[in-house]
Amino acid sequence: MGHLIEEKALGDDHQRGDSLEEKISLFFDEEDEELDRNSEGDWADDEAANNELHDPIERKEFWDSQEALLLEIMERCNSMGAKLREEIGRVVERARETLVCSCSKSNSDECALCLRRRVVDLLCLKGFSASLRTSKWRHTHKFPGGSHEYIEVMASTPGRKKQIPFLIELEFRTEFEMAKACDEYRRLIAQLPKSYIGKSDYLNAILRVVCDAAKRSMKEQKIHMGPWRKRSFMQMKWSGYNDRKQPSKDQPWNKFSLSGITAAVVVK
């Protein structure tokens, strides 16, 4: 139970030398300091850059390239651990359908917490090694402090001792929605899955594309970009600095975990 055999090995896609690899490598090789400087740049004060923002040919090229790159990244992400992702996706849908909020509060955040717990509950009952993770960061002069909770499933690959974490963000698309965005940005966000299930590498690549698009959209709309919209801030949400959180022992699914039934998912 919980052992899913895949046709493709996770993590071996770096051997495929297509254009996406070159593009993604650019995302990960950049220094954070350089990213912050770029994010803080203000095109509104540069007349030439301002004109470029509204040039119809340049705009079309930018948004077409962003959409093409996003779809290419997502296609690669979807091909890795496909059966595992499908199985987890079915569990997530079942959790949504059978959720009964047990929170003392009735706001949406508390219900989202119940949903995450319900998903972990069902995943563990099916034999997955699943847990809640919490990322926390301190307040700085650049970013407000905060925390974010998501789900992690540990997957094992044949021939590798180290397990691979799969991240699950149940309200992934919602994280990027903006009330005052251009139509091109809205169409780009519509390409995102409602829930993200995959490796952190692809998540970071998606963040780069979408956050760059958000920056462009806000500049076109002449709206200030809040620090919580920047990629360096968004990345902290899924950084997982803290240890995994296990629920109290009176939770039914935790009894399965403690008894040794929970096992790492095997993916080929």
DSSP letters, 159-173, are T-SS-EEEEEETTTG
Residue 101 is predicted with a pLDDT of 77
Alpha helices (runs of H) in 100-230, residue ranges in sequence order? 108-125, 183-190, 200-221
The whole-angstrom distance between residue 131's C-alpha and the CA centroid of its chain comes to: 16
Residue at 118 is within a domain: yes
Rounded Cα–Cα distance for residues 142 and 238 (Å): 18
Residue 157 is predicted with a pLDDT of 64
Query: How many Cα atoms sit within 13 Å of 17 on the Cβ side?
Result: 0
Rounded Cα–Cα distance for residues 83 and 128 (Å): 14
Residue 242 is predicted with a pLDDT of 44
Would you tell me the crossing angle of helices 56-79 and 19-29 to the nearest 10 degrees?
Answer: 100
State whether the Cα torsion 111-171-236-10 is positive or negative. Answer: positive
Residue at 254 is within a domain: yes
For 240, the domain range is 12-266
pLDDT-flagged residues of the chain (< 50): 2-21, 25, 27-45, 109, 242-243, 246-268
Residue at 188 is within a domain: yes
Residue 158 is predicted with a pLDDT of 64
Give CA separation, 157 vs 9, 11, 123, 168, in Å: 7, 9, 19, 19
Residue at 6 is within a domain: no
Alpha helices (runs of H) in the chain, residue ranges in sequence order? 19-29, 32-40, 47-53, 56-79, 82-98, 108-125, 183-190, 200-221, 231-236, 252-258
Burial of 81 (0-12, 13-18, 19+ CB in 10 A): buried
Residues with Cβ within 8 Å of 184's Cβ and at least 6 positions away in sequence, in order, are 59, 63, 213, 217
Q: Is 263 helix (H, G, I), strand (E, B) or coil?
A: coil
Rounded Cα–Cα distance for residues 198 and 165 (Å): 8
- DSSP structure class, residue 251: S
Rounded Cα–Cα distance for residues 235 and 152 (Å): 16
Residue 50 is predicted with a pLDDT of 61
Assess contact for 4 and 129: CB atoms under 8 A. Answer: no
Residues with Cβ within 8 Å of 227's Cβ and at least 6 positions away in sequence, in order, are 142, 143, 144, 233
Number of compact structural domains in the chain = 1
Rounded Cα–Cα distance for residues 102 and 62 (Å): 46
Residue at 157 is within a domain: yes
Residue at 4 is within a domain: no
Residue at 101 is within a domain: yes
- What token pair was written down for 202? 């692809």
Residue at 1 is within a domain: no
